[in-house]
Structure 1
Amino acid sequence: MASKVRFNNLAEAERLAKRKLPRAVWLAVKAGNEQGWTLRENIQAFNELGFSPTIFDRPTSFDTKTTILGIDIDFPVVVSPVGAQAIHPDGEVGVARAAARAGTATGLSSWAADSVQDVVQANPNTIFQLYWVGTRDQIEKRVEAARAAGAKALIVTLDWSHTPRRDWGVPPSPPSRLDLATMVKLAPEALSRPVWFGNYLRRGRIPELKVPNLFGAGGQVPYFGAAWADFEATPPPTWDDVKWLRELWGGPFMVKGVNTIKDAKLCVDLGADAISLSNHGGNNIDGSPSPLRYLPSILDALNGQIDVMVDGGIRRGSDVVKALALGAKAVFAGRALLYGLAVGGEEGAYKALTILRDGIRETMYGIGRANIHDLDRADLMVLNSDFFVPPAA
């Protein structure tokens, strides 16, 4: 198993994942909309912030523990609820095990290829993420299934623009059913990477892309494509819908996809415990700035009323430290884990998490901080005058 994990940083993992995965699968992982401006911007924003290293009084131990949505974690990186992790037979269960081993929580998407029951069993600190698909009755049954499985918190994700166009190519639509004609159509992609496909066959599986957490009214498990058609046909939720969902769940609750002060304040009003600033990893409107850029202004506006997380562009531990120094409680990491998963399954995902964890500690050593809760904006240098960091309140 360890021999499959041959990367020392996440840039290497990304290159290896691209070589390992069929082209259509890689395009789905890389994603982004239109020209990919936001996809690149999510990384560029981190590159416009630097540090002031110190040489005296450097720490010899580090406290990276924190709490998010009532869950204690060993370091401030939570697995982002990325859908359809059937890019490796280990899937979401493997990533959940990796997160548990690393001492952190895992977010599980409604679009996951593994069920919430199986993922909670792999990592009791599982946060279930809900998309607004179908009727309130269907949504209520899915929420209750997550509760019964033991999910610790609920996320509702609202940042999706249904913009499928990409300048560098769009993968084929996931199947609505897996009949003979569909298998014949998909066969060239699978056979283009025989090692990847053989890994599935050795486990007695195929990447069929069912989504068990989006079960229908009769309990049937749809294929991804059929569930996606339901998603596109479902009217987007109103503020009242999300308030109803928050009251239905009753436990720790997060709204993911916030981009403005106005929306952040509305989340406070409906009783959310936390929000995540996000442009869906570059998959919302292309041209949306990185959430890192407006993190300070939203934090100042909320004045500590709820916890604020951020996602998009996390590729190294120093990125995490930058987000925390700006005031984020923790970050979500998505593609970083997918790259590791693609390369080495559970072990690859665990390696990705350890790279992030070690990078956090190394950065803290360099800037003379022993505790993540002591990080603040004074630890950062703005390298580009267009990146405005307002003073702390």
Structure 2
Amino acid sequence: MTTSILNTWAHRMHFSPMLNVYFCSKQFHTLVKIRRPEIFCTPMMDSFRRLDEFENHAVSVLPPSIRDYYVNGAGEGHTLKINREAFRRLRIRPRLLRNVSNRDVSTTVLGQKVSMPLGVSPTGKQRLAHPSAECATAKATESAETVFILSAFSSTRIQEVAKAAPKGIMWMQTMLHSDRDCTLHCVRRAEEAGFKAIVLTIDNAVLPKNKAHILDDIPDLSTAVYEDYFLTKMTAEEMGNVHLQIRKIIDQSLTWEAVEWMTSVTKLPIVVKGVLTSEDALLAVKHGASAILVSNHGARQLDGTPAPIEALPEIVKAVGDKVEVYVDGGVRQGIDVFKALAIGARMVFIGRPMLWGLACGGEEGARAVLEIMRREIDETFALAGCSNVEQISRDKDLVVHESYYSRLL
């Protein structure tokens, strides 16, 4: 079976050539073991210069059920649109005739240096985008020398991801489950694998109906992270029921005291993810959070919430320098990263764009996404008159809301 035949088969079946290995793996097992997935990279990827080009191509080739799983937001999708539109409402007030010949876009998070103020948010089931899945993303972020947050719903085991990128800066996402042993299982595996932080997602009290409906059409949604744990708790039939798995681990009775419990069972720093208000930010600090990731879960949980970039100012103001503050949601360009830094974020994260990179070219696609963002971040620093991250934070009103200019009309 030749590569050209596989590519033709994929085209006729409306699958990305990068997805051939996954969907053909059982039938063409020998071929998969011999050939690297990278040989199926889409040729046009080399010409992509913006993240929306990756998105447009990935959306056009992914099977509808997988595309919907990745693309859709909660409810009518209002917040999903707002996440991106909110960045467009911010204006950069560039400072000119500054010496920007020696720029440095690196920063530190939780005391560790990263090459740029951009990391990768947790996104589940990456094998649906590419057979190399989370291992490819881990390798790409390792190469980029930045943070990769592994999803609690990863399609790859924690140990496998750690082995794929042994020098990577990796954090582990988890939730406070109804069975605390389930949470501990995830935390201990992350500790053993050398992960540097635990990202505690707190905005998922229930599984929204629209997400549950989409999950019905997705193959192989069992989570590798909890597989060993579930094997001791569930029957084979239950293991294949993703809704049952999710119901078993979601705890709707949780309070902030549970965050304190989390800090008591691990020495790793706890990043609380999902905060959108100053009130909850202060509670996170009070109960032991080391950092806050301002996020609305990619607009996949509750429609009608503010965009994270809209919530960022009040949270930064509330916590001051008590903890580091990060943000994700709607970030698609280097200028978005710059805007978030100017408002007070220490670090910015992207989620879906990495899936588009994976779908277009596996590890190489993921690397390309990060390199494009790095180039845009550096370019924005130069054009806005900033040589480093510290200078951005010192400049007052470097980024303002568009209403700032309404006084001139």
Q: Tell me the percent identity.
A: 33
Corresponding residue number in structure 2 for 1:163: 208
Distance 2:294 2:104 in 1: 25
CA spacing shift, 1:382–1:240, aligned 2, 3 Å: closer
Give 1:84 shift: 1.0
Q: Please, which of 110, 115, 122 is the counterpart of residue 69 of structure 1?
A: 110
CA spacing shift, 1:236–1:345, aligned 2, 3 Å: farther
Distance 1:81 1:353 in 2: 15
Asked whether 1:16 is paired with 2:77, we answer no
**Deviations, residues 241-264 of structure 1 (Å, cap 9, x unaligned):** 221111111221110000111111
**Paired AA for residue 61 in structure 1:** N
Corresponding residue number in structure 1 for 2:16: none
**Deviations, residues 210-236 of structure 1 (Å, cap 9, x unaligned):** 31212325558945714223235x334
**Paired AA for residue 119 in structure 1:** V
Corresponding residue number in structure 2 for 1:189: none
**Which structure 2 residue ranges, 5 or more long, are not aligned?**
1-37
Q: Give secondary structure in 2 for the equivalent of 1:156.
A: strand
- The worse-fitting range, judged by mean Cα deviation, of 128-137 and 52-61 is 52-61
Corresponding residue number in structure 1 for 2:162: 120
Q: Within 5 Å, give how 1:282-321 maps onto structure 2.
A: 282-321=299-338
Give 1:88 shift: 0.7
8 A contact 1:83–1:111 mirrored in 2: yes
8 A contact 2:275–2:292 mirrored in 1: yes
Corresponding residue number in structure 2 for 1:278: 295
8 A contact 2:292–2:325 mirrored in 1: yes
Give 1:82 shift: 1.0
Asked whether 1:227 is paired with 2:245, we answer yes
Corresponding residue number in structure 1 for 2:134: 92
Distance 1:284 1:42 in 2: 13
Q: Within 5 Å, give how 1:28-47 maps onto structure 2.
A: 28-47=69-88
Asked whether 1:365 is paired with 2:382, we answer yes
**Deviations, residues 74-111 of structure 1 (Å, cap 9, x unaligned):** 00111101111112101011000000111111000110
Distance 1:97 1:79 in 2: 12
With normalisation by structure 1, the TM-score equals: 0.84
Aligned residues: 353
- The worse-fitting range, judged by mean Cα deviation, of 211-220 and 234-243 is 211-220
Q: Within 5 Å, give how 1:182-193 maps onto structure 2.
A: none
8 A contact 2:276–2:294 mirrored in 1: yes
Corresponding residue number in structure 2 for 1:213: 225
8 A contact 1:126–1:152 mirrored in 2: yes
Give 1:302 shift: 1.1
Corresponding residue number in structure 2 for 1:378: 397
**Paired AA for residue 399 in structure 2:** L
8 A contact 2:150–2:171 mirrored in 1: yes
- Structure 1 segments, 4+ long, off by >6 Å, are none
8 A contact 2:74–2:210 mirrored in 1: yes
Q: Give secondary structure in 2 for the equivalent of 1:209.
A: coil
Corresponding residue number in structure 1 for 2:273: 256
Asked whether 1:337 is paired with 2:340, we answer no
8 A contact 1:50–1:383 mirrored in 2: yes
8 A contact 2:182–2:249 mirrored in 1: no
Larger fraction in helix: 2
Q: Give secondary structure in 2 for the equivalent of 1:5.
A: helix
Distance 1:251 1:343 in 2: 34
8 A contact 2:145–2:169 mirrored in 1: no
**Which structure 1 residue ranges, 5 or more long, are not aligned?**
176-185, 187-207, 388-393
CA spacing shift, 1:100–1:223, aligned 2, 3 Å: farther
Q: Give secondary structure in 2 for the equivalent of 1:165.
A: helix
